[in-house]
Structure 1
């Protein structure tokens, strides 16, 4: 149950997308750290976690600045949501939520790690900060890249953040290392696919050999060859997943200066996509 007897507000079209439903709350609620209130000088009562999580999702969906978070919605102040996002990230809660949802997807037979695909997308970094650099695709303006790895059906396994000028060819190994151990069935948890698909931006023999040494068969399009290699049959899913991730307006443009604040927003976006897929399996 939601803390404090919170009841979601319904709209004419149903639940608002940033309102955490009971199913998701049953999964993330036990992961959040319990903060005991001091007996002496307790101060203002801490706003319940459900409301703050709705506020964080509100920013993720709408893309508004933290300082513009509407107080009348009951999500608390911008600093309350921002600090809670940071605290929960430091506790590893977003990573554990994503890992838990991946395990559930595997348990119901939706997640298949027989093959995986990688891709990246550039975004502007309006205020600079960590993991930013002059982007060659945007007239040298400061930017970052989101790198995504998905399984056979396009479910995001991991997403990382780098500077805008980081070459895609360097990222398959870091992406595969970022994939958490996926449980959900008896036996050893899964961590790496059998086949990896990537476009021409990842074409380099030394990195292709690194993928092979990880006991993964690379399927990477080569530069200078004609289109129609057949990789699109399996590779299009990562482009769809990247589009879904950037459907969240907060991830279209990077406003966070600190990369350790922007990264949990990416992980939360991946977790929300997994939760949607779990509710409506293919």
Structure 2
């Protein structure tokens, strides 16, 4: 069973392939073993992201675990994952339009038993090693930025760096921006930070129960659920290197945005490979 349906992985691969930097073969004799096709490695990496597990479990007779790691690092160095996420966000903004006037930020802690970069003792998990993801979503509920840090970092300390992810859109930002936050951000420091950045805010007060569907925060909570429930590799951090951790998150965000983009464009546009039924992306 494929990790993603063909109607989703085919457009994802088309854009990914266009971003892969050209390979320069400088072998003096030209008799080394041929490179494993990029499509095979790409599908293996997507399968690991969705299903989780180690590289050795996803390796087979076509590609080894060492090749998976080497090609992953090669593509990270070439900026493929960063550019892929940027392209899909720009495509959504061009066809549908990103709602950057209504933002939400929230943190999510996951286990990191192997330790490594951006990990720390999780105070909610008996001090075990964990990682925190501070997720920034726009008005449609799509992730537009993720900041990773140790699980012992407070959410409010990651707020400014999370909002700085908007710099990826250049100067095309709305004049009025409102940020919705939960009670964990209810402090004078948070309000001073938002005022300094010129952002309006709506923060749930401490000690009061407000249903999440009465605010816009349910959208960022949904993204956190997509990360941990839809991608097995994001449930538990197994990679120790910060660039690798960020690359997996960028690929997951790309899949989330692309899935929503295809769903939104299906009733509005027509193209040759458009599936007959829309439910294939749900």
Mark yes or no: TM-score above 0.5. yes
Q: Give the structure 2 partner of residue 63 of structure 1.
A: 52
Q: Give the structure 1 partner of residue 226 of structure 2.
A: 244
Aligned counterpart for 1:98 among listed residues 67, 85, 93: 85
SS in 2 for 1:47: coil
- Could you list the per-position Cα deviations for residues 111-135 of structure 1 after superposition, in whole angstroms to 9, with x for gaps in the alignment? 2111110111111111111111111
Distance (whole Å) between structure 2 residues aligned to residue 171 and residue 231 of structure 1: 24
Distance (whole Å) between structure 2 residues aligned to residue 124 and residue 211 of structure 1: 30
Gap change, CA 1:233 and 1:121, over 3 Å in 2: same
Distance (whole Å) between structure 2 residues aligned to residue 278 and residue 22 of structure 1: 14
TM-score w.r.t. length of structure 2: 0.85
- The answer on 1:200 being equivalent to 2:183 is yes
SS in 1 for 2:179: strand
- The answer on 1:50 being equivalent to 2:32 is no
- The answer on 1:160 being equivalent to 2:147 is yes
- Could you list the per-position Cα deviations for residues 177-218 of structure 1 after superposition, in whole angstroms to 9, with x for gaps in the alignment? 1235338xxxx5338971111101112212221112112112
Q: Which moved more, 1:230-239 or 1:95-104?
A: 230-239
Aligned counterpart for 2:197 among listed residues 214, 224, 235: 214
Aligned counterpart for 2:21 among listed residues 14, 33, 40: 33
TM superposition shift of 1:228: 2.4
Gap change, CA 1:28 and 1:179, over 3 Å in 2: farther
TM superposition shift of 1:18: 7.3
Q: Give the structure 2 partner of residue 115 of structure 1.
A: 102
Q: Give the structure 2 partner of residue 6 of structure 1.
A: none
2:3/2:50 contact within 8 Å kept: no
Instruction: Structure 2: state its 5+ residue gaps.
Output: 266-282
Gap change, CA 1:136 and 1:262, over 3 Å in 2: same
Q: Give the structure 1 partner of residue 216 of structure 2.
A: 234
SS in 1 for 2:172: coil
TM superposition shift of 1:157: 0.2
TM superposition shift of 1:110: 4.3
Gap change, CA 1:206 and 1:234, over 3 Å in 2: same
SS in 2 for 1:38: coil
Q: Give the structure 2 partner of residue 7 of structure 1.
A: none
1:181/1:191 contact within 8 Å kept: no
Distance (whole Å) between structure 2 residues aligned to residue 164 and residue 255 of structure 1: 15
Distance (whole Å) between structure 1 residues aligned to residue 185 and residue 175 of structure 2: 18
Q: Which moved more, 1:227-236 or 1:271-280?
A: 227-236
TM superposition shift of 1:39: 5.1
Gap change, CA 1:80 and 1:191, over 3 Å in 2: farther
1:182/1:191 contact within 8 Å kept: no
1:156/1:270 contact within 8 Å kept: yes
Q: Give the structure 1 partner of residue 117 of structure 2.
A: 130
Higher helix share: 2
TM superposition shift of 1:259: 2.3
Q: Which moved more, 1:142-151 or 1:86-95?
A: 86-95
> How many pairs are equivalent?
262
Gap change, CA 1:69 and 1:216, over 3 Å in 2: same
